[in-house]
Structure 1
Amino acid sequence: MDISPLQKVRYAYQPKLPAILRKDITSIEAVYGEPTGAATDADAVKALFPHTYGMSRVSFTEGDNKAVTAQRNVGVILSGGQAPGGHNVISGLFDALKAANPENTLYGFKGGPSGILQDSYQIITDEFLAPYRNTGGFDIIGSGRTKLETQEQFEVCAQVCKKHNISALVIIGGDDSNTNAAVLAEYFLEKQHGIQVIGCPKTIDGDLKNESIEISFGFDTATKTYSELIGNIERDANSAKKYWHFIKLMGRSASHIALECALQTQPNVCLVSEEVEANKQSLVSIVEYIAKTVSDRALDGNNFGVVLIPEGLVEFIPEIKALIDEINHLLAKEEVAFNALTDSAQRVAFVGSRLSKSSQTVFSILPDEIQKQLLMDRDPHGNVQVSRIETDKLLSTMVETRLKQMKAEGSYTGKFSAMTHFFGYEGRCAFPTNFDADYCYSLGYNAFCLIGSGLSGYLSSVTNLCAPAEQWNAGGIPITMMMNMEVRHGSKKPVIKKALVELEGKPFAYFAEHRAQWARKTCFTYPGAVQYFGPAEVCDRTTVTLALEQSK
């Protein structure tokens, strides 16, 4: 198979490790800190995880761990959506496993968690792994969204592991996947199956984080990829001087991606869902804010600009959230009658006539296409598929309507022409940045060190990430310390709490301090393409978010 010159060079790249993980693996020893506890709902979480609650944080230091050389078979699963660097987590895991004992075997379960349930696997060898090192994607073994959440599934996992003499599983995933890893670890300990479970923090959305998980892998690459595209559009906008670009970015539950891209590119407008919710902003007020920005720039002769919109914005606008909840409930109740209608106009009329008065008002101001999108096929839980709602088109259309009103009133004299974009899949499987290549490799190598220390129910943790890689700290945290109780499917369940944008945090504070200037003036910055070769300050830098968070 022909490969590109860059691909060939990236295969040969040797990721950097923290200094402690560069040592002989038999001299990497676990040091235990203070016991941990859940941040909220501690009693409920403790009751559900009696074997794994309250475990200590772990760090690695130089010492003696001859037990790491015992022969082991390890399984690995990629779970959930793709994120750049997943292949390097597996590469780091494989290299540590072989450094400990060349007879060790790594089983890659295919297609996500369903692979272990179906006993579908690939033995990962050095030859098999070579074409995937330092590359994007999850195509080495595939991924999936099957949840491991029932005791029957757990027991199938145990029996498949025992069949292959697998004594440890590494689950590479986001908050839901690592919640499942914690539950699986608890089950294996309760049943004395002797199978360890270690998680690795993955999600480009950036909402799996705390003081010990400074960033989830893939976020760095995805935001740099999106920021390059946004910068290109900004340059084009500043050249043509005739379009307003509305850009929707991935990030349903949190606005970390949109905020990071704004910090990198300095657009005229960036909406942050968490702020919209905190201020109880209405859809009309958001449209008014954007329209005023357009009008103010027009006064300076600038009939162009860029607006960034987080994917999940509509769920944070109070009246839209209420509308979506009402539609979900209505369609669950009237499913048969609704599905009998085949014409979209009839469906819109059917729903509109059955909504409460307040929701009817909101529904009626939405553009026709958005009304139809709210009524599209539901997700497996019967809910609106928010990611399919074209929020970029919703806002651009409503802003255009508002500007026409302002022009009729004599308060706006500019020209407005909108272009819409959605950047999502472009960033999920991009070639990892040097940072993600190094970080992911370290997470995988570190995961095996946790296994070699006899631990289970832990999340691989690498910190001090703004420093050069050799100064990174390696260790692990109990997954239970990240848990809280949330209502899922009508009952309270333990889940890893999503980390939202902190409105009191340094990244948002910096953005809030500068956005008025960015709104009126053309302050665009152009990050350019991801760089792999050259000065460390260009090639190995991490995100602006992390740099601000760790600034003194």
Structure 2
Amino acid sequence: MTREDILENPDKYDLSIETVGKCTLNSPMKGLKFVNDTKQISLTTDVATIEKFAKMGKPIPALEAAGPREMIYHDPSWTRAAIVTCGGLCPGLNNVIKSLVRVLWFDYGVRNIFGIPYGYRGLNPDYGYAPKILDPDYVDNIQEDGGTILGSSRGQQSAETMVDTLMRLNINILFCIGGDGTLRGARDIAHEVKRRHQPISVIGIPKTIDNDLNLVDRTFGFETAVLAACDVITSAHCEANGAYNGLGLVKLMGRDSGFIAADAALATTVANFCLIPEVPFELEGEGGLFSALENRYAIGKTHAVMVVAEGAGQHLFKGLPERKDASGNILKYDIGDYLVEKINEHFKTIGMEINIKYFDPSYTVRSIPAKGTDAIFCYQLAENAVHAAMAGKTNMVVGSMNGKFTHVPIDFAVSERRKIKPDSPLWHAVLGSTRQMDYFSGKYAKRKKQ
């Protein structure tokens, strides 16, 4: 169900958004332009593709536009909203929590807002966690800290149990902040709510540091993570330069998609190698990583910087058992430690000196507060999530596509991971910046020998 799949076979896919009922109340918001449900954001900006649909007389596949509605479903004076944060930490979690509270409180007049502790566990009474009462004063300065004031957890909980809790608390809006695992849980909750014919809106806000949700061009926290990763890569470059045949090796987050590694390598311009899950590589033989490193040092370079995403090179662990975390995500074997060990062994075997400085900043990168435009993006996502919820939307996640905010059915957002295409402009730019293919091909080493 990728964007390309939908554009190729639009009749197979329904991108409409579920609602809990008809909107019959006037919005309390004033002084802004309302958005109609008929406003759509096209999945493509390619003129030829748009013309193709026009010639066929078919509508262009599109997502419902986000934004405030003139008519709303939930009565603000009776609304009881809950917020839950799940999965791993990510820059911007507190920004989103604060923004949700402020938009609910000041724009819509909602006075009953609850924070659910420790992810979906907080909706299971067996854990004994009491919800936190949230208001603008409580969340006033939380954006200055990383992490989440609500705590988080991984792992599935029974949808039936969680909906029981929501009904017991008289919650009619639930905001689920998280990645694909969190959104799958939100979808299960929405399905159970629908089965019981309850008017509870379930809205997802896309939090994944890997930036890999389908039909969502950007997730919050990613930009800040890239910024933090750049500082680490710069330090690795400094360390590599400080030793003869130095190698600064930086492992960054990216289980199945290498966006952080690629963007950070491109932003710093000091990386000589960038290894991502989408592009396989070998260690040995002509065209292997060992040979590529040798080729760089052979032309007189006395240092190298290598950036590797955590999910890269997993084929090198073939035969080892598959492992999963509490959320069902496949745990990756540590490619960073593996490369340090294997590169050291290889260079010792060939009698060549190498000095590896290894950096693994994963928890540092994900636990800092959001910065700059990323913090602004957190507010915009939260604002549009509240607009959608008050209008009675459900089983959806707020997304961004082609510079516009959208409503994405959760099924589509979690159907596949968005990945870097090896023939994309992004990856071409990374190859141009690192020049790594020249090392893998031996181009520079051959020139040196001549």
The two structures share one fold, judged by TM-score above 0.5: yes
* Residues 76 and 109, structure 1, Cα contact 8 Å, conserved in 2: yes
- Counterpart position of 2:238: 235
* Residues 116 and 131, structure 2, Cα contact 8 Å, conserved in 1: yes
- Counterpart position of 1:386: 332
Structure 2 distance, partners of 1:56, 1:100, is 28
Cα deviation per residue 1:191-218 (whole Å; 9 max; x = unaligned)? 10111100011111122242xx211111
Structure 1 distance, partners of 2:154, 2:197, is 27
Cα deviation per residue 1:423-453 (whole Å; 9 max; x = unaligned)? 2001111121112211111111111100111
Structure 1 unaligned regions, length at least 5 = 1-22, 38-54, 329-376, 408-413, 466-472, 484-495, 521-552
Change (3 A) 1:392 1:191: same
- Counterpart position of 2:8: none
- Counterpart position of 1:474: 405
Structure 2 distance, partners of 1:264, 1:177, is 30
Within the candidate set 126, 131, 136, 1:121 is matched to 131
Cα deviation per residue 1:481-521 (whole Å; 9 max; x = unaligned)? 335xxxxxxxxxxxx3111222122211222344326976x
Within the candidate set 28, 36, 40, 2:34 is matched to 28
Cα deviation per residue 1:374-409 (whole Å; 9 max; x = unaligned)? xxx98569999535x3x22322332233334444xx
Displacement over 6 Å in runs of 4+: 34-37, 381-384, 517-520
Does residue 426 in structure 1 map to residue 432 in structure 2?
no
Q: Spell out the pairing of 1:180-199 with structure 2 (5 A cutoff).
A: 180-199=185-204
In terms of mean alpha carbon deviation, does 23-32 or 95-104 score higher? Answer: 23-32
Change (3 A) 1:402 1:125: same
- Counterpart position of 2:229: 226
* Residues 457 and 478, structure 1, Cα contact 8 Å, conserved in 2: yes
- Counterpart position of 1:498: 417
Match of 1:307, as an amino acid? Answer: M
Structure 1 distance, partners of 2:40, 2:32, is 24
- Counterpart position of 1:92: 99
Change (3 A) 1:105 1:197: same
- Counterpart position of 2:49: none
Structure 1 distance, partners of 2:39, 2:328, is 44
Does residue 110 in structure 1 map to residue 117 in structure 2?
yes
Structure 2 distance, partners of 1:178, 1:56, is 21
**What percent of counterpart residues are identical?**
23
Change (3 A) 1:268 1:518: farther
Q: Spell out the pairing of 1:38-57 with structure 2 (5 A cutoff).
A: 57=63
Report the CA distance between 1:136 and its aligned residue: 2.0
Report the CA distance between 1:56 and its aligned residue: 7.9
Cα deviation per residue 1:5-37 (whole Å; 9 max; x = unaligned)? xxxxxxxxxxxxxxxxxx738853442357999
Within the candidate set 297, 303, 317, 1:320 is matched to 317
Within the candidate set 332, 340, 345, 1:401 is matched to 345
Does residue 250 in structure 1 map to residue 253 in structure 2?
yes
In terms of mean alpha carbon deviation, does 231-240 or 263-272 score higher? Answer: 231-240
Change (3 A) 1:290 1:135: same
Match of 2:217, as an amino acid? Answer: E
Change (3 A) 1:474 1:34: closer
In terms of mean alpha carbon deviation, does 448-457 or 299-308 score higher? Answer: 299-308
- Counterpart position of 1:488: none
Does residue 79 in structure 1 map to residue 91 in structure 2?
no
Structure 2 distance, partners of 1:66, 1:25, is 16
Structure 2 unaligned regions, length at least 5 = 1-28, 44-60, 440-450
Cα deviation per residue 1:116-157 (whole Å; 9 max; x = unaligned)? 12262101112211120353211x110111314xxxx32332
TM-score where L is the length of structure 1:
0.64
- SS of the residue aligned with 1:84? coil
- Counterpart position of 1:141: 150
- SS of the residue aligned with 1:225? helix
Cα deviation per residue 1:315-346 (whole Å; 9 max; x = unaligned)? 2x2x523x12xx45xxxxxxxxxxxxxxxxxx
- Counterpart position of 1:540: none
Change (3 A) 1:397 1:191: same
* Residues 214 and 416, structure 2, Cα contact 8 Å, conserved in 1: no
Structure 1 distance, partners of 2:285, 2:209, is 29
Within the candidate set 260, 263, 285, 1:260 is matched to 263
Structure 1 distance, partners of 2:135, 2:30, is 21
Q: Spell out the pairing of 1:287-302 with structure 2 (5 A cutoff).
A: 289-302=288-301
Higher helix share: 1
Match of 2:121, as an amino acid? Answer: S
Match of 1:137, as an amino acid? Answer: G
Structure 1 distance, partners of 2:204, 2:69, is 24
Match of 2:360, as an amino acid? Answer: F
- RMSD of aligned alpha carbons: 3.1
- Counterpart position of 1:510: 429
Change (3 A) 1:69 1:180: same
Structure 2 distance, partners of 1:66, 1:381, is 34
- SS of the residue aligned with 1:166? coil
Within the candidate set 173, 176, 179, 1:174 is matched to 179
Change (3 A) 1:269 1:475: closer
Match of 1:141, as an amino acid? Answer: L
- Counterpart position of 1:339: none
- SS of the residue aligned with 1:401? helix
Match of 1:303, as an amino acid? Answer: T
Cα deviation per residue 1:22-76 (whole Å; 9 max; x = unaligned)? x738853442357999xxxxxxxxxxxxxxxxx9832146773365663211111
Change (3 A) 1:518 1:221: farther
Report the CA distance between 1:115 and its aligned residue: 0.5
TM-score where L is the length of structure 2:
0.77
- Counterpart position of 2:53: none
Match of 1:73, as an amino acid? Answer: R
* Residues 202 and 208, structure 1, Cα contact 8 Å, conserved in 2: no
- Counterpart position of 2:159: 154
Does residue 273 in structure 1 map to residue 219 in structure 2?
no
* Matched length: 389
* Residues 75 and 166, structure 1, Cα contact 8 Å, conserved in 2: yes
Change (3 A) 1:208 1:379: closer
* Residues 69 and 100, structure 1, Cα contact 8 Å, conserved in 2: no
Structure 2 distance, partners of 1:63, 1:457, is 18
- SS of the residue aligned with 1:136? coil
